[in-house]
Amino acid sequence: MCAAETSGAYLEVQNLVKWFGNDRAVDNISFGIPKGSFLTLLGPSGCGKTTTLMSIAGLHSIDGGRIRVGDAIFTSPKEGLFMPPEKRDIGMVFQSYAIWPHMTVAQNVAYPLEIRNIERSEIDDRVAAVLKLVGLTDWANSLATNLSGGQQQRASLARAIVSSPRLLLFDEPLSNLDLKLREHMRVELKRIQNEVGITSIYVTHDQSEALVMSDEIIVMSKGKIEQRGGPVEIYSKPVNEYVSNFIGVANLLKAKVLETSEGGRGTVEVTQDGEKFQVPCLIGPGIKSGSDAVLSVRPENVHAVDDESQGTVTGECTHAIFLGSYVDCRVKWGGFEWKVISHPRNHPRQGDRVHLRFDPEHTLAVQP
């Protein structure tokens, strides 16, 4: 119908804008995802990720842009189009699980099929199959309120996928579970999504959840997209200080780019409290020679060495905490404290003078 739909994406969000009062909760973002993939919207609270999800769900109107899935336009204020949520054929898992307390588990799961006027015998079959998939067969006839948090989460997922919707939306579904269960459910959710193969969008503020589950991650902040990429790319090649800081842990220092060369490499100079050093590194996209940048090094890519000639920076180890598989060290250099991860068999002790070496392949200059 429209030219935009010829692009390959199954779900397409174009120039989405949503105002809350005088706040631009979502500020002109666009993205598209292929059929069957798992996309995570990641960011702190208030970054617009949930608003984006609710816009796709149709649980509120939008102020600008266009959302399309397959050949159906969900909403497009410019064309005056708004498809009500119940027409969108979406399965959704809510933060509070939203399992109806006045129904049994089976009744909860059967509900979307009853709404679609499917025959009773087929409903029973499909409910049984999906309850088996999520491992709640034995709980089919208990009241939803008698379930534990993790079980409610499974029931909620079963209800979302039972009608084989065109899209599956997750709104921080694991945030109310305790840590152990959360780690278990991550894997479970991913397994079930793989099995049913429904295109999914997952909203979370938990970076490890995003890294574990997603095919692709969109990092958001203040209503805008900061970076989009696969988990490995987002972690190892953050494009700016915000993403470096939000995903994982990084040593971040203000730097100036001295020179850039072919293949995205170059040299930066870091000046801090009168001390300075130069280091070769990877130069992120959009950074020119002579501009300001931020040096970003993950703690596991900082190596404490004994040989002063190999080190770029020398400082004093202020503490070293043994954490089983690794040792978490802090090295004081001027006013800055380096986070360094060392091997338990060979690590600096508190009070040691330490030389730090940076691997140019894992040292990044990113946008401030």
- Binding site residues, another protein, CB under 8 A: 1, 57-60, 70-72, 78-92, 94-96, 98, 100-102, 111-112, 115-116, 156, 159-160, 163, 169
* Shortest Cβ 77–another protein spacing (Å): 9
* Shortest Cβ 102–another protein spacing (Å): 5
Report the residue number, 3 or 232, with the smaller CB distance to another protein.
3
Report the residue number, 4 or 115, with the smaller CB distance to another protein.
115
Report the residue number, 166 or 254, with the smaller CB distance to another protein.
166
Residues forming a β-bridge with 104: 143
* Shortest Cβ 78–another protein spacing (Å): 8
Q: What is the DSSP letter of 298?
A: -
What strands, in cross-sheet order, belong to the sheet with 216-221? 90-93, 167-171, 200-204, 38-42, 216-221, 224-229
CB atoms within 10 A of CB 248: 17
Closest alpha carbon to 282 in 357, 368, 367, 360: 360
* Shortest Cβ 135–another protein spacing (Å): 21
* Shortest Cβ 246–another protein spacing (Å): 27
Residues forming a β-bridge with 336: 333
* Shortest Cβ 93–another protein spacing (Å): 9
Answer whether 278's CB lies under 8 Å from 315's CB: no
Residue 274 tokens, joined: 């009168």
Task: Round to whole Å and give the CA distance between 206 and 247.
Answer: 9
SS3 state at 227: strand
Report the residue number, 80 or 274, with the smaller CB distance to another protein.
80
Report the residue number, 69 or 297, with the smaller CB distance to another protein.
69
SS3 state at 217: strand
Report the residue number, 162 or 304, with the smaller CB distance to another protein.
162
Answer whether 48's CB lies under 8 Å from 26's CB: yes
Task: Round to whole Å and give the CA distance between 48 and 25.
Answer: 5
